[in-house]
Structure formats: structure tokens, C-alpha cells
Amino acid sequence: MLKKIGIALVVLVAVLVAVISTRPSSYTVLRSGTTTAGPDVVYGMIADLHRWVDWSPWEKLDPAQKRTFSGAPYGKGAVFEWEGNDKIGQGRMTIVDATVPTSVALKLEFIKPFTSTNDVQFQIERGAGDTRVTWSMSGHNDFMGKAMSLFMDMDKMIGPDFERGLAELKTASEAEEKKRAEAEAAAKAAAAAADAAKAAAAAVAVAPSSAAEKAPAGK
């Protein structure tokens, strides 16, 4: 009896291993969204890892998380490390390539609660009246990853986070563009006021000498 149970278990394990081995060896999660902000503004919100706090879908899961920035201050070579609660775990992002204002590529490394490495891409395209942002993440499944894929769908797990992030990026980038436009308008108004003040001062300086030239000479 025990021998039969043992044989059945071996067969069951063999079948499970065979099924797991047929699972995909890689995965990709991809979502797109649009914003009225220009590509340069959107690019800045992504290439500056300090700005992710304004739109990342994971920021609200643990606002008290520990954040560490290193490497380049902006663009290629910039590094962001985080450590937080069990909802966001621990990991690191490194910008490995950046082309203004069309694309940003990152290496995403999860450390806790499990280890994995993923390639992340942002493609930024100017459309007719808006800017399209495509956010994708791809990775490889080892044996354990394939086994986990029997019970977890990466697209269903990560996709909603990307959708929330793109919605927050839209809000943040449009607010940033409005802020820049207001600052530019204020700067132009200040420059115009300064020019007007200079012109008025010059007119005042010229007026007395002109009046003196026109006055009749005294006896």
C-alpha cells in the first residue's frame, strides 16, 4: 500500500514538473495612457526619480517608506532604492538609458519579499493634441517563476498598478506644465514691467534737459 502511494506521489510530481516546464519562460506587462502635457514635461517626471513620489502607484501604499537616491542626479545612471512595508517590500531602480524626450529604460530589482530582475521601458510619443505614454515591464521566469505563474497572472497583478500610475502621471505632468506656463508668464510680465520702468525713467531724465534748452535766456 505504501509502495503504491509512493509511486502515485512520484507520478504526480513528475506530471506537475512537466506542466510547470510548459509555462512561458518570460512575461510582459504593458499599459498606455495619454496626457495633454508635452513630451518634455512627461519625460522630466520619469527621468527624475525624485519626481516619482508625485505619481508612482506604490507611493501611497507606504508613504513612510525609506527612500535613498544615488548615482546621477537625473537621467541615465540615476538610482532609487526603497524599503517599506509588506505591500511594497524592498528594491532598487536604475535608469540604464534615457533619450530626451522620447524614452526612459530602467533596471528594476526586487529584493524583498522575493528576488527578481525586470526591464522597464517608458515610450513617450507626441500625438495630435496629446502625448501618449507606454509603460512596459518584462522579465524571465525561472522554474519557481513558472510554478508561481500557475496561480498568479503578472498582467493582472501589475497591470492595474500601471493604470493607476499612468493616471497619476497624467495629473502630475499636466499640473507641472501649468506651473511652468504660469512661471513663464510671470517672468515675461516682470520683464515687461522692468522695461516699462526703464523707459519711464529715461523719459524723466530727458525731460528736464529738453525744457532747459527751450527756456529763454535770462538777462
Cβ within 8 Å of residue 47, ≥6 positions away: 74, 75, 78, 95, 98, 100, 104
Q: Where does 6-85 show beta strands of DSSP type E?
A: 26-35, 66-71, 78-83
Closest C-alpha among 174, 136, 141 to residue 155: 136
Q: Does the pTM of the predicted model rise above 0.85?
A: no
User: CA 192, CA 173: separation in Å to the nearest integer?
Assistant: 28
- Domains annotated for the chain, with CATH where assigned, are 27-179 (3.30.530.20)
User: CA 80, CA 66: separation in Å to the nearest integer?
Assistant: 10
pLDDT at 1: 72
Please give the average pLDDT of every successive group of 10 residues along the chain, which has 219 residues.
Answer: 66 51 69 97 98 95 94 97 94 97 97 91 94 92 51 79 97 95 92 89 74 55
pLDDT at 27: 78
